[in-house]
Amino acid sequence: MQDLTMDAIARELHTSRSSVSRLLSHARSSGLVDIRIHSPMDAPGRIEKEILDRFQVTAHVVPVPDRASDVDRLERVALSVARMLGQYFDSNMTMGIAWGSTMNAISRHVTIKATHNSQIVQLNGAGNMSTTGLGYASEILGRFGTAFGAHVQQFPVPAFFDDPETKQAFWRERSVSRLLEMQKRMDVALFGLGSPFSEVPSRVYAGGYLEAADYASLSESGAVGDVATVFFRADGSTDGIPLNLRGTGPDFTVLRRTPRRICVIAGTSKLASLHGALRADLITDLFVDEGTARALIADS
């Protein structure tokens, strides 16, 4: 803030220049120091304004080279989300998180911010025929909980029930209904968009959660993606998609009541999913790579 060189800081603190460098690196990683760049060639800023004007969504466009793979795009976008997430989450707040490839990437970089009386709640179950999914989901949520000093509320149910009636019976259980009530009172929801077309396979499509009959049913229903295992069409509708009767994610009416709904997406292969989510009015804040943001505007 005072424009001092590292040599000047070292002299003032009676330490070495290398120690100052390590301290500055620690300050960045711990969130004490936040670096922002306001480029005179602000193409992302212009795109953000256009997305706000067209969709009434606050966008954060992450510059990524056009030649970058979807894997690299996801890592760069995830890092940007991880470093800014503390601006949206504080003490006495509840944040719902949907497990998956995108949340896993973000969780590895979350900047530490101490909060109190805060909650991280899992948005949907993670079990399938091969695993309970608890290890995978709890690892992701645990990283967020550790970063914010928040209490983690897991959702120990399958991603999809075999029978809709079994789901309804579980939903009447007090231990489950308590979590459902927490979801209804969320201050922040953080989620990616699942897509069967993505270069980085969405966990629900690549992790043994869906069978051939499920894919056929989704195709017949015109599904283009999902949020927390709730599937939707290109127009944002969810009614009449049979798999949603067995899925464990929150109904979109619950998500829409959440004041801040942060969607994270990387790669143009998820463009159809993004259009559907926007039409469903699921997003208040969008983190997206520059190439996908340009494609969104061009395709609108």
What is the residue type of 31? G
What is the residue type of 51? I
What three-state secondary structure class fits 133?
coil
pTM of the predicted model as reported, rounded to 2 decimal places: 0.85
Residue 294 to residue 192: CA distance in whole angstroms:
19
CA 271 to chain centre: 16
List beta partners, residue 158. Answer: 127
Residue 250 to residue 2: CA distance in whole angstroms:
48
Closest residue by Cα to residue 101 from 224, 227, 240, 201: 201
The predicted-structure confidence for 102-144, as pLDDT tens digits, reads as follows 999 999 999 999 999 999 999 999 877 666 555 678 999 999 9
DSSP state of 247: B
Beta strand pairing call for 260-265 and 230-233: unpaired
Beta strand pairing call for 94-97 and 151-153: unpaired
- CA distances to 50, 97, 189 from 250, rounded to whole Å, are 30, 11, 11
Structure confidence at residue 283 as a pLDDT band (50, 70, 90): very high
Residue 184 is encoded by which pair of tokens? Answer: 């209804």
Is residue 37 predicted with pLDDT exceeding 70? Answer: no
What's the mean pLDDT in 237-253? 96
